[in-house]
Amino acid sequence: MTQPPRTTESISRDHATLRDLMNQIKSRLSVPDRATLAVALVGHLATMMNSRQIAKLVDELAEEAERVQDVPPTRRRESVPEE
């Protein structure tokens, strides 16, 4: 008899649970610990992805990191005095 495949994926996202987890991470972990957690999560995800998916994830992470900077890179470059 064939059993259905086991999966941890759900059809729809549970935004309330995600928001709760993010708030707990923010309140319980220091910034360095959050960075360590982020790297560990990305590494764990990468073990389940093919190279094309990993490339897409890295691009999305770079875009998100640039978006959330205090000073966007475009303005940062302009403020550097020329020699």
Give the tens place of pLDDT for each residue, 12-55. Answer: 778 899 899 999 999 999 989 998 999 999 889 889 889 999 99
* 41 inside domain: yes
Whole-prediction pTM: 0.55
* 62 inside domain: yes
- Per the structure, the complete domain to which residue 44 belongs is given by 31-68
What pLDDT does 64 receive? 86
* 13 inside domain: no
* 36 inside domain: yes
* 83 inside domain: no
* 52 inside domain: yes
56 has pLDDT over 80: yes
* 54 inside domain: yes
* 45 inside domain: yes
- 35 is written with which tokens? 């960075």
Q: How many domains does the chain have?
A: 1
Identify the residue with better confidence: 74 or 61.
61
C-alpha closest to that of 38 among 13, 15, 65, 20: 65
Q: Which residue has the tokens 């610990």?
A: 33
- 50 is written with which tokens? 């093919």
